[in-house]
Amino acid sequence: MFSHNKRLQYTVHVSEPNPGLANLMLEQFGGPQGELAAACRYFTQALAEEDPGRKDMLFDIATEELSHLEVIGNIVVMLNKGAKGHLAEGVEAEGEIYRSITGAGNDSHLTQLLYGGGAPLVNSAGVPWTAAYVDTIGEPTADLRSNIAAEARAKIVYERLINLTDDPGVKEALGFLMTREIAHQKSFEKALYSITPSFPPGKLPGDPRFTHTYFNLSQGPGDTRGSWNQGEQWDYVEDSDACLAVDGGSGESSADLSAPDAELTQQFAERTASDPAMDPVTGADLGSSPILDEIENKTSTKKKK
């Protein structure tokens, strides 16, 4: 069960409202790398987790991410603080309000107009948050790697937001949030490497014919070798033609059909065949070709009432 304290995990002070900046901060509120995504990711993993240590860790971190969602949400709300009343109370000249929410350096019209200057769960372009951002699949050696990557991404987006603002209170709170992503990544790394083995993920081994092969499918200027495709652990297939039908078969696909199925498939194919022996007049011809003008005119004349 969750409980809540109206004090934040980190104090937020904003020097000056700035709805345009608030809009950018939404990236970490309702954006794909943001705190709702993080909280949902770890919370749902915690629910289904069989391992007591990971379950506890996932609940700890999910709860902290919810608390971070609250911190970044407060940053958004404080940056919108002044603007909110203008549109709701409508006391100014209309042109003034219009200019203030659509002016240069301010893409906040959606936030003001649709969401009333609150903190909506959208990214900085106004795209609603979707659980399609959460890539949990219920296998810890995969999910922990997903968590490590998610923390790395969130750290970078915070870094970019920090580079965008010179409000010291905003910078400091963002710095705290960014730092926690580093700490969380470290925890997830520890939990991953405490599973042995953790690679390859899952239970089935790979087919040994193809675990060490590197296919050089992009040819031409810029071909480069490095530890990712050279060294004793790699078989490097240089030529793309050698990548075709690597099983040694025909490289075709086939299915054994029952006789009635085969017949129906054939019937469909015949009914819808494009005859390569024909060079038909087409709609594009009708719409463009001067050589058809005569024919068309004659025909439409005939058809006119």
Each residue 262-291 as x (binds its own copies by CB under 8 A) or -, in order, gives: x-xx-xxx-xxxxxx-xxxxxxxxxxx---
Which of 19, 35, 88, 238 binds its own copies (CB under 8 A)? It is 88
**CA-CA-CA-CA torsion sign (183, 187, 193, 198):** negative
Rounded Cα distance between 233 and 145, Å, is 23
Q: Assess 259 for contact with its own copies (CB under 8 A).
A: no
91-120 residues in contact with its own copies (CB under 8 A) are: 91, 93-95, 97-99, 101-107, 109-110, 112-120
Q: Assess 168 for contact with its own copies (CB under 8 A).
A: no
Q: Assess 242 for contact with its own copies (CB under 8 A).
A: no
- Residue 290: DSSP 8-state: G
Q: How many CB atoms lie within 10 A of CB 252?
A: 6
Which of 19, 35, 38, 70 binds its own copies (CB under 8 A)? It is 70
206-235 residues in contact with its own copies (CB under 8 A) are: 206-207, 209-233
- Tell me the closest approach of the beta carbon of residue 296 to its own copies, in angstroms: 5
- Tell me the closest approach of the beta carbon of residue 233 to its own copies, in angstroms: 8
Q: Would you call the peptide bond into 200 cis, given omega within 30 degrees of 0 as the criterion?
A: yes
Q: Assess 35 for contact with its own copies (CB under 8 A).
A: no
- Tell me the closest approach of the beta carbon of residue 173 to its own copies, in angstroms: 8
- Tell me the closest approach of the beta carbon of residue 129 to its own copies, in angstroms: 4
Count, residues near its own copies per rule CB under 8 A: 236
Which of 19, 32, 35, 38 binds its own copies (CB under 8 A)? It is 32
Q: Would you call the peptide bond into 260 cis, given omega within 30 degrees of 0 as the criterion?
A: no
Q: Assess 84 for contact with its own copies (CB under 8 A).
A: yes
Find all residues with CB under 8 Å of 139, minimum gap 6, and list them: 201, 202
Query: Which H or E element spans position 213?
Result: strand 213-215
Which of 19, 21, 38, 238 binds its own copies (CB under 8 A)? It is 21
Rounded Cα distance between 175 and 161, Å, is 10
Q: How many CB atoms lie within 10 A of CB 20?
A: 16
- Tell me the closest approach of the beta carbon of residue 242 to its own copies, in angstroms: 11
Which of 19, 35, 38, 62 binds its own copies (CB under 8 A)? It is 62
Name beta bridge partners: 214: 236
Q: What's the farthest any 2 CA atoms get from each other in the chain?
A: 85
Q: Assess 238 for contact with its own copies (CB under 8 A).
A: no
Rounded Cα distance between 73 and 223, Å, is 46
- Tell me the closest approach of the beta carbon of residue 133 to its own copies, in angstroms: 6
Q: Assess 300 for contact with its own copies (CB under 8 A).
A: yes
Rounded Cα distance between 257 and 260, Å, is 8
Two tokens, residue 204: 């089935």
Buried/exposed code over 127-138 (b: 16+ C-beta within 10 A; e: otherwise): eebeeebbebee
Q: Assess 6 for contact with its own copies (CB under 8 A).
A: yes
Each residue 123-162 as x (binds its own copies by CB under 8 A) or -, in order, gives: xxxxxxxxxxxxxxxxxxxx--xx-xxx-xx-xxx-xxxx
Helix axes 168-193, 52-89, angle to 10 degrees: 160
Q: Assess 40 for contact with its own copies (CB under 8 A).
A: yes
Q: Assess 295 for contact with its own copies (CB under 8 A).
A: yes
